[in-house]
Amino acid sequence: MSNNLLEIKNLRVSFQMGKQQTFEALKGINYVIPRNSTVALVGESGSGKSVSAMAIMDLLPRLNTIINPESQLLFEGRDLLKETPANRRALCGKDISMIFQDSMSSLNPVYKVGDQIVEVLRLHKPLSKAAARKRAIELLAEVGIPDPQSRIDSYPHQMSGGQQQRVMIAMAIACEPKLLIADEPTTALDVTIQKQIVELLMKLKASHGMSILFITHDLELVREVADHVVVMHHGVIKEQGASEQVFTQPADPYTRALLACRPTIDRRPIRLPVVDDFLQGREKELPQGERQRGVVPGDPIVLEVKGLEKKFYAKQGLFGRREIHAVKNVSFKLAKGKTLGIVGESGSGKTTLGKTILRLNSCEGGEVLFDGKNLMALSDKDYQPYKRRLQIIFQNPYASLNPRFTVGDILLEPMRIHNIHSNDRERSDHARELLKRVGMPDGAFFKYPHEFSGGQRQRISIARCLTMKPEIIVCDESVSALDVSVQAQVLNLLQELQDEYGMSYLFISHDLSVVKYISDEVLVMNHGEMVEYANSDQLYRDPKHPYTQKLLAAIPGRH
């Protein structure tokens, strides 16, 4: 019996884009997944990682997908591409199973999680409903869901993101597959939840004797989990080999670029390298030295928050309501031209704090002092002039840009509202200048948001912010969903703009490596409370609070 569980040979996948146009997503890739091993498939968005996984699972759209007849997917010697649809369905879910990236959209919102696990079990195994339910409870317990007997009757929306992902894992391992495909299973999760999910997958791999194909763009995470690494770029495999070899002696410039683009907690280069620096041989021309960070007593303060309080109320029972104390007595100062990083897990109150400061939420107490005024005490009319001086870059560039507006309209609208410039011609010139400033082509002015990638949309969001010439920008997880190379470009841009215009940032993120790179000070939140607040170098070097210590210990690659 061969040691290889799955062999992918000359896999070529194209998509029919029109009557005479095709796009080749995979250009003849070859790699193997040995038995009882973890293979990591890494690369940026558009590299073809997920397409190869979908080809294995037979989930590519049949209407416009063209798979080359010479391609082979040999699973235990059987060519999956030559199997009947019925045989493929029998294999997928039983012997080969998959965890999808977005657990909330992958779980059916109108069915209880237990019913969804039971469905998988009864589809592939001759179990009664009662036996399948009992097995589902065992699976929930195995993946670490507390009180599985009662949680089996929960709906997906009643669970946290980490718990939803655990339910997805329970469904995936229900039939004890030989191969588990994990497609970006931890991308949107907090660093502590990410660590728990990865440890769970490694434990399950050992106990079930299965192989894992781990798809991700986080190379630090790959280093912790993978036996073998396959690096993809534009549908081509650039490099593959044993994990340690790829990390310590990367042979391809693209691999070296991916490793160098990611901020780390032990270095703070003046400018982060980007992929093009390596692909065009410019890596030796990068500025040398480290950027100094921190706030000293003489730095001028532009914003002071004192004892800020925010509560929400949720319905409980027929007539009752439950109080959720989202922000509890938070105080800090933001210096001019500096960045305050705000970190914590989901539900810690980071985003609520940022939105409350900008009056996107009401508040129950406290002060936000800006330019000698308490913003919380102003009427809507009196606050209007301050809106242009305090701006926000939202987390999701897909949802924050109006799909019916062209990019030009998106940039012109705030300038018209706040009477910036005397006419539309001057506003258009300013908008084009800003698009150029954030690295967008001039033709972008007449295009719509859907014509751009996530990274490009985030640049448009930054340009929209800059039309106001703000003094303070709240960056709410503004780089969390981006590939490492695009993330590096956006971080460099934010830093250049801060150097040039002296803007101050409130940088909200759960990515502690990124926060260390860009922040002068760091504020740590947990359950709405500020548990630690210090200069970033000091906090990372010597965290005082146990919660901060837990967060830092969960960073991939830090032991």
388-439 pLDDT tens trace: 899 999 877 778 899 999 999 999 999 999 889 999 999 999 999 989 888 8
Is 174 contained in some domain? yes
Domain CATH number, residue 191: 3.40.50.300
pLDDT the model gives residue 481: 67
> Are residues 473 and 391 in contact, defined by beta-carbon separation less than 8 angstroms?
yes
Question: Cα(553)–Cα(195) distance, rounded to whole angstroms?
Answer: 10
Q: 140 lies in a domain?
A: yes
476 falls within a domain: no
Contacts of 266 (CB under 8 A, 6+ apart): none
CA distance 1 to 434: 61
Residue 202 lies in a domain: yes
| Structure confidence at residue 464 (pLDDT) | 92
Of the spans 179-193, 228-242, 384-398, which averages the highest pLDDT? 228-242
> pLDDT band at residue 333, thresholds of 50, 70 and 90?
very high
| More reliable by pLDDT, 478 or 214 | 214
* Measured distance CA(490)–CA(392) in Å, rounded: 15
pLDDT > 70 in the chain, percent: 98
How large is the average pLDDT for residues 250-274?
A: 88
**Of 524, 476, 475, the residue nearest 498 (C-alpha):** 475
Residue 558 reports pLDDT greater than 70: no
For the entire predicted model, the pTM comes to 0.82
- How many domains, the chain? 1
Expressed as residue numbers, the domain containing 168 is 4-257
Question: pLDDT tens-digit profile of 65-94?
Answer: 999 999 999 999 999 999 998 899 888 888
237 touches 29 (CB < 8 A):
yes
* Of residues 356 and 479, more confidently modeled: 356
Q: Kind and range of the H or E element at 167? A: helix 161-173
pLDDT band for 188, please (50, 70, 90 cuts). low
Domain assignment present for residue 484? The answer is no
Q: Hey, what amino acid is at 345?
A: E
Residue 139 lies in a domain: yes
Please check whether residue 364 lies inside any domain of the structure: no
Q: What percent of the chain has pLDDT over 90?
A: 50
Distances (CA, A) of 518 to 90, 132, 284, 535, 544: 49, 50, 23, 12, 21
Give the tokens for residue 556.
């991939």
Please name the residues in contact with 392: beta carbons below 8 A apart, sequence gap of 6 or more: 354, 355, 358, 360, 465, 473, 474, 475, 476
In a domain, 113, yes or no: yes
Mean pLDDT of 348-352: 88
- Mean per-residue pLDDT, 158-170: 82
Confidence of residue 1 (pLDDT cuts 50, 70, 90): low
Average pLDDT (41-49) is 86
Q: What confidence category does residue 451 fall into, taking pLDDT thresholds of 50, 70 and 90?
A: confident
* Cβ contact 303:366 at 8 Å: no
